[in-house]
Amino acid sequence: MDIALLGPVAGFALAACGTPGPNNMLLASSGTRCGYLASLRLLLGIMLGLQGLLLLTALGLGRLFELWPALQWGLKLAGSGYLLWLAWRIAMAPPPGAGEHQMSWRQGALFQFLNPKSWLMAVSAISGFTLAGEQYWPSAWIVLAVFLFFGLVTGHLWTLIGMRVRRWLRTETDWRRFNMVMGVLTAACVAMIWY
């Protein structure tokens, strides 16, 4: 693989993984509510799901969207509905300790297949940064490795940001306001899907 391609792949992966989106809102919220170690399971699931999605896209799954554009609309609708449901759950969550429910690593992994931002990242990364011919699979593995690295780094940062926010949440009212803000931010991710 041409080493000159590594910089653009890294820049794209950093921007795609590090900017606000459904995964990062979930990690920040989890960091605030459940702490670092519990959030690592969610981060693991998100990364496994994203790596699986990238691999399936490299194997040709992304071409289905080109062949049948209706699939893309279906994914957008399903993803939007699921994100709005998640946003509602986050916004209405009680303060920690009262009926606490942490998203499992399996749910985090499966969520990637309903997360339109993850699909967009996977299709864009594989179609934009893999090379033709014999260089296809070596370049695809590099894309997967770069996304794994930046996904882990930025996922940890969003979790740590959530943990830092916890210091300011002292009352039940503070928690309810925080949950509402996180719910609204998660719901706002739906706009990114249609934009």
Interatomic CA distance for residues 117 and 135, integer angstroms: 27
Q: Are 175 and 169 in contact (CB under 8 A)?
A: yes
186 vs 130, 148, 191, CA distance in Å? 31, 23, 10
Interatomic CA distance for residues 17 and 117, integer angstroms: 10
Lowest mean pLDDT among 67-81, 123-137, 140-154: 67-81
Q: Which pLDDT score is estimated for 98? A: 52
User: How do the domains of the chain map onto residue ranges?
Assistant: 3-194
Run of H or E including 48: helix 36-58
Average pLDDT over residues 138-164: 95
Q: Does the structure show a pLDDT above 80 at 176?
A: yes
Q: Does the structure show a pLDDT above 60 at 194?
A: yes
Interatomic CA distance for residues 95 and 166, integer angstroms: 11
Q: Are 126 and 53 in contact (CB under 8 A)?
A: no
Dig out the tokens for 89 from the structure.
């759950």
The pTM score is: 0.84
Interatomic CA distance for residues 66 and 125, integer angstroms: 15
Backbone phi and psi for residue 42, each to the nearest 5 degrees, phi listed first: -65, -45
Q: Does the structure show a pLDDT above 60 at 169?
A: yes
One-letter identity of residue 190 = V
Dig out the tokens for 121 from the structure.
């990242």
Q: Which pLDDT score is estimated for 2? A: 63
Q: Does the structure show a pLDDT above 80 at 72?
A: no
